[in-house]
Structure 1
Amino acid sequence: MAMSVTPFEAGVDTAKDELVIQSAPDTKPFAIPNTPKAIRAWLKTLPSGSALAIEATSTYHMEMAEQAHAAGFTVYVVDGLRLSKYRESIALRAKTDAHDAALLARYLSKERSSLKAWTPPPAGHRKIQVLLRRRAKLVEIRGMLRMSWSGDKLFASELKRMEKAIKKAEMSLEKGLREVIKEAGLQDQLSRVQQLPGVGFLTAVGLVMSFMRGDFANSDAFVAYLGMDVTVAQSGKWSGKGRLSKRGDAEVRRLLYNASMSGSRTKTWKQFYAHHLGRGMKTTQAFVILARRLARLAFGLMRHQADWKPEVYTGGAKPVS
């Protein structure tokens, strides 16, 4: 591969074992192994000042992003939802690794001025994210097994054995999370967030991980980062139904939603939850509103390094006399 001296913009489609790269519109995409050695070798061929748009796929994009940033290149990490919307906007029907690499290169070329360059996360962030996502996969597998095998006497003993093994793995992952939290010096922040009624250890870990990722101007920015902000669709007199943007970490949103379900039964949030149901909200909508409230409060506690004071907070509803 001949070494260029002119900076260029490249799109990188990521998978567990392979990276497909489109380095210029008039060139063919090519693939390299998704290994530290192969990535290092390819980056050495890039001219100074080049920029990469890398698809965010679980954690498989992290090696390329970290090495490219360390080598002095500008890195843009593009989430799958944003890339999917962009594909639809230009009426591109094909979806292959090569097409995605070319799409990323085009997206970077056309939208670079509006994109925010990626920076490496703080110490501990990546480990926490990996452990949370591995646990989420275990939860998903357990749910699938229960749906498929529950009620089948033939597999009852096997299901019980597998659930026991999954539970053991979950406990190991939670132990790993506690160790990372301790190593990263995040125990105080974790304790603050866990003081919120309904928020348990895992949800608190997810919120702390999210908070440490960026310098958020306010709680609105934090909520938007979590993907729990509401999108607006309006044209003339027509107003569409608002939906969550879902641009953040899906596992953190799931944990936060579960925390709101648990919190709705607490003394602090029971009236808050009932109030929104009384306004005609569906249960899911009320849970989402409570989840956003928990996220905002968690942000405030972490930002100001303050403890939760339940005696001065009624959950947004009048206390029972």
Structure 2
Amino acid sequence: MTFAGIDVSKTHLDLALVSNSPKPTRLRFPNSPEGRQALLAALAHHNPAWVALEPTSAYHLPLLKLLAENRLQVALVNPYHLAAFRKAKGERQKTDRQDALLLARYAQVYHEDLRAYTLPPETLRELKALVGYREDLAGRERTILNQMEAAEWAGSKEVLALLQKELACVKGLLGEVEARIQALLATLPEAEVLMALPGVGPQVAAAVLALLPPELWGRAKRAASYAGLIPEREESGKSVERSQLSKKGLPSCGESSTWAPWWRCAMTRRCGPSTTACSRGERERSRRWWPWPTSSSGG
């Protein structure tokens, strides 16, 4: 079988293909609409069993969408797992070409454990974009408040006035984004089930639905691992460290401001669909996607 690895940067795409042949195939394409189509043609020619990608900001998203629409088996590799694989192989060089080859080798070794990426519905993609933008705005708001405090101590009245204008603008955008998120949540039955949990509101529901891939809904252990909420234990001889959360999920789940939503929903497992105040039909629908075990389903 042939396996492909693609390293994505802002300007180009490095493709590596490995098979039973001792020499890998290496190709480079521009990260543009034309370049992505050329890469797709190359993949169609070699017909790999898996295509491995590492999430890189937003530069990989157009390619990921294109590959998913053309029904290729694409796996998004956790950066932590890839770094561990690099260390295990003793790789010392880290270049775009080497990263592409490492991704292809990773797919070749772990192809039985890979999870195929499924393109989420447009509503969920838009929700994820809005949640990310809200995170950026919230971060900017905190920065402005800190700058205002510094300006007050420095007695900079002109700077303080400008910062107040900027803060008002950011707060206005936050309100608009929140309204759009609320409108999207109103169209999702899953959001209604989530918000029926104690302490779970629109922000928590939006974060969970935006960051948890739909293909993991209903798979409690995989969902927890994806979010980095699995316990990590260290033992060596008589030394036993206290267990802690691994926090080794994908980067989008590792932002400090999103830990509360993930943790709160994980800890309210007994308030799953079997105990929410909804109709029997709603409970059955919720069980099909509910990512955590309920009180009746065990651990």
Is TM (by shorter chain) over 0.5?
Answer: yes
Distance in 1 between residues matched to 2:126 and 2:184, nearest whole Å: 7
Give the corresponding residue for 2:245: 244
C-alpha deviation, 1:253, in angstroms: 6.9
Counterpart of 1:163 (choices 152, 167, 170) is: 167
Distance in 2 between residues matched to 1:128 and 1:298, nearest whole Å: 23
C-alpha deviation, 1:162, in angstroms: 1.8
Counterpart of 1:254 (choices 241, 250, 257) is: 257
Counterpart of 2:267 (choices 293, 297, 302) is: 293
Give the corresponding residue for 1:177: 181
* Code of the aligned partner of 1:173: V
C-alpha deviation, 1:113, in angstroms: 2.3
| SS at 1:95 equivalent | coil
2:53 aligned with 1:49, yes or no?
no
2:33 aligned with 1:33, yes or no?
no
C-alpha deviation, 1:16, in angstroms: 4.0
Distance in 1 between residues matched to 2:133 and 2:272, nearest whole Å: 24
TM-aligned CA distance change 1:219 to 1:118, over 3 Å:
closer
Give ranges in structure 2 of 5+ residues lacking alignment.
Answer: 277-281, 287-299
C-alpha deviation, 1:210, in angstroms: 4.9
Give the corresponding residue for 1:273: none
Distance in 2 between residues matched to 1:253 and 1:192, nearest whole Å: 25
* Code of the aligned partner of 2:257: R
TM-aligned CA distance change 1:232 to 1:296, over 3 Å:
farther
Give the corresponding residue for 1:98: 97
* Code of the aligned partner of 1:11: G
* Code of the aligned partner of 1:43: L
C-alpha deviation, 1:43, in angstroms: 0.7
Distance in 2 between residues matched to 1:163 and 1:67, nearest whole Å: 38
> Given that residues 190 and 204 in structure 1 are in contact (C-alpha distance below 8 angstroms), is that contact kept between their aligned partners in structure 2?
yes
Report matched runs for 1:273-292 at 5 Å. Answer: 292=266
Give the corresponding residue for 1:11: 5
- How many correspondences in the alignment? 268
C-alpha deviation, 1:252, in angstroms: 7.7
* Code of the aligned partner of 2:90: A
TM-aligned CA distance change 1:211 to 1:250, over 3 Å:
closer
2:224 aligned with 1:223, yes or no?
yes
* Code of the aligned partner of 2:4: A
TM-aligned CA distance change 1:292 to 1:73, over 3 Å:
closer
TM-aligned CA distance change 1:29 to 1:162, over 3 Å:
farther
Give the corresponding residue for 2:192: 191
| SS at 2:76 equivalent | strand
> Given that residues 56 and 77 in structure 1 are in contact (C-alpha distance below 8 angstroms), is that contact kept between their aligned partners in structure 2?
yes
2:127 aligned with 1:128, yes or no?
yes
TM-aligned CA distance change 1:98 to 1:165, over 3 Å:
farther
> Given that residues 194 and 204 in structure 1 are in contact (C-alpha distance below 8 angstroms), is that contact kept between their aligned partners in structure 2?
yes
Task: Map Cα deviations across residues 199-246 of structure 1 (whole Å, 9 max, x no partner).
Answer: 221111122345661254454443333321212333454433433233
* Code of the aligned partner of 1:142: E
TM-aligned CA distance change 1:140 to 1:238, over 3 Å:
same
Give the corresponding residue for 1:280: none
| SS at 1:165 equivalent | helix
TM-aligned CA distance change 1:253 to 1:145, over 3 Å:
closer
Q: TM-score, normalised by structure 1?
A: 0.70
> Given that residues 7 and 14 in structure 2 are in contact (C-alpha distance below 8 angstroms), is that contact kept between their aligned partners in structure 1?
yes
Distance in 2 between residues matched to 1:199 and 1:215, nearest whole Å: 20
C-alpha deviation, 1:78, in angstroms: 0.9
Distance in 2 between residues matched to 1:99 and 1:10, nearest whole Å: 13
**129-138 or 153-162, which deviates more:** 153-162
Task: Map Cα deviations across residues 101-136 of structure 1 (whole Å, 9 max, x no partner).
Answer: 222122112222222222222342222112211221
C-alpha deviation, 1:69, in angstroms: 3.0
Q: TM-score, normalised by structure 2?
A: 0.74
Task: Map Cα deviations across residues 37-93 of structure 1 (whole Å, 9 max, x no partner).
Answer: 321222112225313111112343232223223334321111222222322333334
TM-aligned CA distance change 1:100 to 1:218, over 3 Å:
closer
